[in-house]
Amino acid sequence: MMTQAYYTGLSGLKASSQSIDIISDNLANTSTIGYKAYEAEFSNMFETVLNTDANASSVNSSIGIGTTIGAITMDESQGVFQLSPSSTDLAILGDGWFGVEGNGQTMYTRDGSFTFDANRDLVTQDGMYVLGTMGNNTADGVLTEQLDEVPLTAAGDQEPLSFPKELYFPPQASTEATFSGNLSLDNELTAVSVPVVTSDGTINDLRLEFSKVDPQVSPGVQWNVVATTQNLDGTEIYDTQTGVVSFDENGALISNSLSSIDNQGSSVNIDLGTGYDGMISISAVDSLASSADGLQDGELLGYDINKNGQVIATFTNGRQSNVGAIGIYHFQNDQGLDRVSGSKFMESANSGDPFFFQDENGNYVNGTDLATNKLEGSNVDMTVGLTDLIIMQRAYDSNSKSITTADEMLQKALEMDA
């Protein structure tokens, strides 16, 4: 029995010491972003069942011969969110992990304190590359396609997110100019203009001047229209086209002989509508409106990230385009991940392979939103940790005293034998 007391105490010392190490590690990382605490789960070692008289006792008594750490489990609860001034700092609102890569290794973390380095690579604070899907809509520093969303590819196809330091949004020449509103019967001359963009990004003025046909042919009303493309200060004219616009006695547009005009090499279609959809002519106040498609060119202002993990490029012309997407990885068993250091983990046989969720159409999705300008803090509760540390220290002291007591009992037995 005294030998058993030694083993019981020694196993208790070992288990308590391991638990103290785990708790101490947790407490040391209360300020580590994305840190997940670990907890020690104790279990009995082999037990010796005591034979009892069933008629005398209903208790199945046993004597344990020690304790051990049965498992060390991850606390998967979410840490407290912390506000951040950086738009590239992200927090995962639900289940999932960011993927990062460095030194040929892929790791997973809840630490979303990211930044763009000097090369416009999206990286962690220690220089690891953030993994995701590239939009592949840039080439040689030029945006080749404006995207509203970059769809995720499979989890195994993710790559480091790297974007151009300088990005040019090419101009889009105007192809359509639309005019609407009322040509008042009380006026003899009316004009309206709209800015139109050339193929090289220059903005010109497309001007329409309406004058009543003389003489008028009843029923209805007819207007001469002169279309002109010119520079903004009107000192240079590039093209002039003329036509006649006719309205019926109720003011509805019934014909228009003006179709298009040249804008320094780009043809712009002139749309005045039909019927009451567009231009009309009745006895009322002039109320002309105009619009045209086309875009000026733009230079890159910077990159931002939205709640869907989409990386968005913003340009000086007010336009935006998605250029990449951050992937959120999932595992069958998060508890099976192997901690590498701090808040970084690696997959293992117990965790299973990383994967992405899919929607009803089979498209890959993150399955959770991201919070921008926020970071997920450590989920360690210092109050609980300090309390557990005191408990484990007392357990360590108790096991130490049991060894001392067993040693004293053995000395007494030896003295009695002498």
CA dihedral 47, 48, 53, 54 (to 10 degrees): 30
Residues 100 and 249 in one domain: no
Query: Which distant-in-sequence residues (6+ apart) come within 8 Å of 102 by Cβ?
Result: 126, 127, 128, 129
Check residues 75 and 2 and name the one with the higher pLDDT: 75
Residues 88 and 133 in one domain: yes
Residue 198 pLDDT exceeds 90: yes
Residues 370 and 330 in one domain: yes
Q: Give me the CATH number covering residue 248.
A: 2.60.98.20
- 346, 361, 376: which is the final residue of a domain? 376
Residue 155: band (very low, low, confident or very high) from pLDDT cuts 50, 70, 90: very high
**275 CB burial (10 A radius; 0-12, 13-18, 19+):** middle
Average pLDDT over residues 143-169: 95
Residues 108 and 160 in one domain: yes
Q: Is the dihedral of CA 50, 53, 54, 59 positive or negative?
A: negative
**Separation between Cα atoms, residue 145 and residue 139, nearest integer Å:** 10
Residues 251 and 151 in one domain: no
State the pLDDT at residue 368. 92
Residue 79 pLDDT exceeds 60: yes
Residue 336 pLDDT exceeds 90: yes
Residue 59 pLDDT exceeds 60: no
| pLDDT one-digit tens code per residue, 382-394 | 888 788 888 878 8
| pLDDT one-digit tens code per residue, 138-151 | 999 999 999 999 99
Whole-prediction pTM value?
0.76
On average, the pLDDT of the chain sits at 89
Residue 51 pLDDT exceeds 60: no
State the pLDDT at residue 393. 84
Domain that includes residue 183, residue range: 176-292
State the pLDDT at residue 87. 87
**Separation between Cα atoms, residue 333 and residue 390, nearest integer Å:** 31
Residues 238 and 259 in one domain: yes
73-77, 80-84, 408-412: the lowest-pLDDT one: 408-412
Average pLDDT over residues 20-43: 87
Residue 163: band (very low, low, confident or very high) from pLDDT cuts 50, 70, 90: very high
- 292, 321, 340: which is the final residue of a domain? 292
Residue 112 pLDDT exceeds 80: yes
State the pLDDT at residue 306. 93
| pLDDT one-digit tens code per residue, 235-251 | 999 999 999 999 999 99
Say if residues 280 and 270 touch (Cβ distance below 8 Å).
Answer: no
Residues 161 and 309 in one domain: yes
2-11, 30-39, 115-124, 223-232: the lowest-pLDDT one: 2-11
State the pLDDT at residue 394. 83
Number of structural domains found in the chain: 3
Residues 395 and 322 in one domain: no
Average pLDDT over residues 393-408: 75
Two structure tokens written together for 95 = 């289940």
Check residues 399 and 189 and name the one with the higher pLDDT: 189
Considering only CA atoms, which of 72, 80, 112 is closest in space to residue 96? Answer: 112
Average pLDDT over residues 218-234: 95
Average pLDDT over residues 181-198: 93
Say if residues 213 and 222 touch (Cβ distance below 8 Å).
Answer: yes
E-strand ranges in 153-272 read 159-160, 168-169, 176-182, 189-197, 203-212, 221-230, 237-247, 252-256, 260-263, 266-271
Residue 322 pLDDT exceeds 60: yes
Residues 282 and 326 in one domain: no
**Separation between Cα atoms, residue 76 and residue 92, nearest integer Å:** 13
Residues 258 and 315 in one domain: no
Say if residues 189 and 209 touch (Cβ distance below 8 Å).
Answer: yes
Average pLDDT over residues 35-62: 64
Residue 82: band (very low, low, confident or very high) from pLDDT cuts 50, 70, 90: very high
**Separation between Cα atoms, residue 338 and residue 347, nearest integer Å:** 6
**Separation between Cα atoms, residue 90 and residue 115, nearest integer Å:** 10
**Separation between Cα atoms, residue 280 and residue 288, nearest integer Å:** 10
Say if residues 184 and 286 touch (Cβ distance below 8 Å).
Answer: yes
Residues 370 and 395 in one domain: no
Q: How many other β-carbons are positioned within 10 Å of the β-carbon of residue 54?
A: 8
DSSP conformation letters of 78-93: PPPEEE-S-TTBEEES
State the pLDDT at residue 381. 87
Residues 334 and 358 in one domain: yes
| pLDDT one-digit tens code per residue, 262-315 | 999 999 999 999 999 999 999 988 889 999 999 999 999 999 999 999 999 999
- 276, 292, 308: which is the final residue of a domain? 292
130-144, 189-203, 373-387, 393-407: the lowest-pLDDT one: 393-407
